[in-house]
């Protein structure tokens, strides 16, 4: 580790645990061992050669969602997630947990997600981009394969608003999970493939649908030497807010409908995109909008965790259930999230756990807006 990381690890390991109540993993598992402070304590023990790198310890490094909640809660600005990320980068190949190796292989070979359903393929084919496309929507591999409801709602909504848009014939992976698992070289190779695809089309605007893909393109790419030149990259909420202002649509009467909003990690803590989704919700007259108990930079991670969903699905399931529990505290009928991945991950994990159907509906912004825009 660098001297900065070693010092951050030391400071985290001896602090008064200001962050543990905001750690999405620790709050979901209710284990002190999952707290940021304890992670730093483990890392410090390894740095000082007081603790052996056993398979159990190595696996522990991957129980962090790197959601940055610990950084927001820390009065001194320490970031245990960054410590975990650096630790992952320095692990020898032979020490990697088998499930991490398998996930890496699936990502590199494009076999993590299921095949795109025919109905979705047909819908995408109707909006295929070419060199004349000024606005291109980047859906991402996961949404293509598993987000048919979101894609249908998004296309319907944009057509209602009169937005001229298209999509690529494929959406190469941004490299996000690879990067946050510690495989920087593999992530850069994936990023360069996407960069070339975008350069070939050279759209004026690229709307990136999911929060973590946007985090990669807007925050990480420059740090790994990848540039997306000449294209304005915007988030889903910002893109929709602009389209709504220009389209000036009429909304269906939703008087008295109580809704709440979940801030995805990549949009909120990382990119500080807090206001655009709230402005969208407040455009609809009659809605009763109430904030979650934990919101904005303190909002919990949905369980996706840039790989956590695949390496520790049992932890992700508890995090998903916590999102629903927090939503239910508000008494809202609908929980809206700014990222389609958050919505899918929460519903997927609730289903895995065999939970009863949540008494709050969970939708993403395109699904919510398509329902209420005439």
Q: CA–CA separation, 107 vs 316, rounded Å?
A: 19
Angle between the N-to-C axes of helices 365-372 and 236-247, in degrees from 0 to 180, rounded to the nearest 10:
20
Angle between the N-to-C axes of helices 98-108 and 184-201, in degrees from 0 to 180, rounded to the nearest 10:
20
- C-alpha to C-alpha distances, 184 to 98, 156, 227, 308, nearest whole angstrom: 19, 37, 15, 17
- Position 345 scores a pLDDT of 94
Cα 49 from chain centroid (whole Å): 35
Q: Dihedral, CA atoms, 18, 308, 154, 244, nearest 10 degrees? A: 20
Max intra-chain CA distance, the chain: 65
Q: What does the radius of gyration of the chain's CA atoms come to, in whole angstroms?
A: 21
- pLDDT averaged per 10 residues in sequence order, the chain, 374 residues: 67 65 88 83 74 83 92 80 88 92 96 94 94 94 95 97 96 97 97 95 96 97 93 97 96 93 96 98 95 93 95 94 92 97 91 62 97 96
Q: CA–CA separation, 11 vs 37, rounded Å?
A: 9
Domains of the chain (ranges; CATH) run: 3-96 (no CATH), 118-243 (3.40.50.1860), 248-372 (3.40.50.11810)
Q: What is the DSSP letter of 61?
A: T
- Position 137 scores a pLDDT of 97
- Position 9 scores a pLDDT of 67
Q: CA–CA separation, 345 vs 304, rounded Å?
A: 6
Q: Count Cβ atoms below 10 Å from residue 26 Cβ, excluding itself.
A: 25
**pTM to 2 decimals?**
0.92
- Position 354 scores a pLDDT of 47
Q: Which of 95, 110, 28, 32 is nearest to 61 (CA)?
A: 95
């Amino acid at each position: 580790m660098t001297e900065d990381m070693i010092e951050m690890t030391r400071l985290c390991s001896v602090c008064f645990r200001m962050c543990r109540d905001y750690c999405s993993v620790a709050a979901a598992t209710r284990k002190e061992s999952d707290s940021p402070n304890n992670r730093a304590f483990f890392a410090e023990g390894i740095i000082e050669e007081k603790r052996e790198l056993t398979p159990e310890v190595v696996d522990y490094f991957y129980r962090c969602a790197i959601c940055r909640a610990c950084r927001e809660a820390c009065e001194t600005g320490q970031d245990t997630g960054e410590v975990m990320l650096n630790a992952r980068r320095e692990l020898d190949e032979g020490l990697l947990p088998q499930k991490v190796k398998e996930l890496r292989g699936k990502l590199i070979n494009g076999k993590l997600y299921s095949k795109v359903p025919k109905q979705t393929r047909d819908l995408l084919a109707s909006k295929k981009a070419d060199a004349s496309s000024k606005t291109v929507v980047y859906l991402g591999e996961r949404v293509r394969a598993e987000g048919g409801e979101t894609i249908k709602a998004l296309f319907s909504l944009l057509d209602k608003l009169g937005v001229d848009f298209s999509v690529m014939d494929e959406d190469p992976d941004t490299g996000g999970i690879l990067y946050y698992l510690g495989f920087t070289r593999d992530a850069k190779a994936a990023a360069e493939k996407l960069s070339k695809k975008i350069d070939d089309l050279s759209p004026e605007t690229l709307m990136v649908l999911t929060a973590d893909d946007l985090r990669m393109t807007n925050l990480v790419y420059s740090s790994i030497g990848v540039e997306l030149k000449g294209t304005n990259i915007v988030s889903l909420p910002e893109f929709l807010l602009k389209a709504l202002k220009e389209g000036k649509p009429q909304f269906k009467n939703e008087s008295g409908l109580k809704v709440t909003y979940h801030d995805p990690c990549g949009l909120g803590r990382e990119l500080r995109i807090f206001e655009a989704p709230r402005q969208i919700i407040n455009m609809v007259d009659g809605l009763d909008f109430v904030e979650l108990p934990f919101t904005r930079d303190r909002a919990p991670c949905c369980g996706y965790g840039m790989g956590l969903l695949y390496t520790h699905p049992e932890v992700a399931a508890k995090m998903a259930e916590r999102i629903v529990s927090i939503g239910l505290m508000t008494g809202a009928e609908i929980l809206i999230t700014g990222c389609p991945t958050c919505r899918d991950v929460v519903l997927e994990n609730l289903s895995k756990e065999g939970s009863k159907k949540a008494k709050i509906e969970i939708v993403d912004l395109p699904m919510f807006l398509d329902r209420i825009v005439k």
